[in-house]
């Protein structure tokens, strides 16, 4: 059961974008698993991709096509990652792009492929051959929510959000969808995110806006510490509204709304983490620099002992203390470190705070969402990440993933 997360009731259409979804039978039966997103001519696109050395064939092809011209389509499948598939995987990804491009009378470089699912299995290209004509015929501006469901794998709910932002020359729309529940620690998990706006933005500033937004959202979440071979986050600006970013104030306002939308999608992935029962913010302050703050935060968030204590609602604060101590911070003055669970101070002066009572810690741990705050007493830098617990269901889901 997702932690404090509901299925979006409606996602706003973005002028210049049409979508279609279908049940192609790539792996799942009786549910949509293939999506086509079509964009008007003149659309600008930006992308951020996995840093995993074994990046999937569709990632390689999408990067290649993105750099070669003006893409017009995103083709997304769930159920098969087309990763670890060598030259055949690359050939299959390119063939799937060509299927769409041929129907549209465009070059294959006009299509960017994306895949998520089981690693190491060949892609069923015949399923794409059967489904692509239906997708091309069924494109609709209102297809966002159906697409959000189609890209799911172990997700329990579709994830999507929309925003409207007023700029100096008019309003623009942003809508995005995402999937991911396990293998989540993006480095830009099987995490995919697709966002579009009708604002008019050139490619270079669009890429900068996306990278900054990803750094504060998808690059600040972790479910299990595993970075996928297939991570991708895409942003398209169709320009259909005719509204551009005319000054620094417009750019700042648009960036604020984009960052907020991506944070919502990223946090939705953590809230729907495989088997998750807790949504936990790990906040590190008074660090010497940002890298140090992140090192401490991820050490705590990735500790199996901390994560299982979270699942048990057990205020076993010694596990948090130990994780901070092994995070690799040189010359850490432990007597300056303070650790809190929400409003409850549990550690100061090198050990348990004298005023701390187990009942106070238990009250916080019983909540489905709370913050672990770590004050290092070393400087002015701070960072925040979002994570979840490690439950029996996480083990079951991943043990049974291919069966």
Q: Where are the domains of the chain?
A: 17-271, 279-399
Q: Per the structure block, which two tokens stand in for 160?
A: 């999507």
Contacts of 352-356 spanning 24+ positions with Cβ under 8 A: 352/317
Equal CATH topology for 17-271 and 279-399:
no
Instruction: Find the catalytic residue in 85, 116, 153, 190.
Output: 190
Q: What is the pTM of this model?
A: 0.94
d(CA 286, CA 382): 6
* Token pair for 61: 């092809």
* 279-399 CATH choice from 3.10.20.340, 3.40.50.300, 3.40.30.10, 1.10.3720.10: 3.10.20.340
> In the Cβ-directed half-sphere of 151, how many Cα atoms lie within 13 Å?
35
Q: How far apart are CA 285 and CA 249, in angstroms?
A: 29
Q: What is the pLDDT along the chain (403 residues), one digit of tens a residue?
A: 689 999 999 999 999 999 999 999 999 999 999 999 999 999 999 999 988 888 899 999 999 999 987 899 999 999 999 999 999 999 999 999 999 999 999 999 999 999 999 899 999 999 999 999 999 999 999 999 999 999 999 899 999 999 999 999 999 999 999 998 776 576 654 489 999 999 999 999 999 999 999 999 999 998 877 667 788 999 999 999 999 999 999 999 999 999 999 999 999 999 998 889 999 999 999 999 999 999 999 999 999 999 999 999 999 999 999 999 999 999 999 999 999 999 999 999 999 999 999 999 999 999 999 999 999 999 999 999 999 999 888 888 788 877 6
Query: Which CATH class for the 17-271 domain?
Result: alpha beta
Quickly list DSSP for 375-396: E-SS-SEEEEEEEE---HHHHH
Question: Is 190 marked active-site?
Answer: yes
């Amino acid at each position: 059961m997702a932690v404090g997360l509901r299925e979006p009731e409606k996602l706003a259409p973005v002028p210049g974008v049409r979508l279609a979804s279908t049940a192609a039978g790539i792996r799942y039966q009786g549910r949509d698993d293939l999506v086509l997103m079509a964009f008007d001519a003149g659309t600008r696109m930006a992308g951020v991709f996995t840093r995993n050395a074994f990046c999937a064939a569709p990632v390689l092809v999408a990067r290649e096509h993105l750099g070669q011209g003006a893409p017009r389509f995103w083709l997304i499948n769930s159920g098969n990652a087309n990763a670890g598939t060598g030259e055949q995987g690359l050939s299959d990804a390119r063939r799937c792009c060509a299927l769409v491009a041929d129907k549209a009378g465009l070059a294959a470089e006009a299509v960017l492929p994306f895949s998520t699912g089981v690693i190491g299995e060949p892609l069923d290209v015949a399923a794409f051959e059967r489904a692509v004509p239906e997708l091309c015929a069924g494109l609709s501006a209102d297809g966002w929510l159906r697409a959000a469901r189609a890209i799911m794998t172990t997700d329990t709910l579709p994830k999507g959000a929309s925003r409207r932002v007023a700029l100096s020359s008019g309003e623009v729309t942003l809508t995005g969808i995402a999937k991911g529940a396990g293998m989540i620690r993006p480095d830009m998990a099987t995490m995919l995110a697709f966002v579009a706006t009708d604002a008019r933005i050139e490619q270079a500033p669009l890429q900068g806006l996306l990278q900054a937004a990803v750094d504060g959202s998808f690059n600040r979440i972790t479910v299990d510490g595993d970075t996928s071979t297939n991570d991708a986050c895409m942003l398209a600006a169709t320009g259909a509204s005719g509204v551009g970013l005319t000054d620094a104030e417009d750019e700042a306002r648009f960036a604020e709304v984009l960052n907020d939308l991506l944070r919502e999608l990223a946090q939705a992935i953590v809230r729907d983490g495989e088997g998750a029962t807790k949504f936990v913010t790990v906040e590190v302050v008074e660090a010497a620099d940002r890298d140090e703050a992140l090192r401490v935060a991820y050490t705590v968030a990735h500790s199996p002992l901390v994560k299982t204590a979270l699942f048990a609602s057990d205020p076993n604060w010694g596990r948090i203390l130990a994780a901070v101590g092994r995070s690799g911070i040189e010359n850490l003055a432990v007597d300056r470190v303070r650790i809190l669970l929400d409003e409850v101070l549990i550690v100061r002066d090198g050990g348990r705070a004298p005023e701390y009572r187990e009942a106070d810690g238990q009250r916080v741990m019983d909540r489905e969402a709370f913050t672990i705050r770590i004050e290092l007493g070393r400087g002015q830098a701070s960072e925040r990440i979002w994570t979840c617990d490690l439950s029996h269901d996480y083990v079951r889901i991943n043990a049974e993933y291919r069966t």
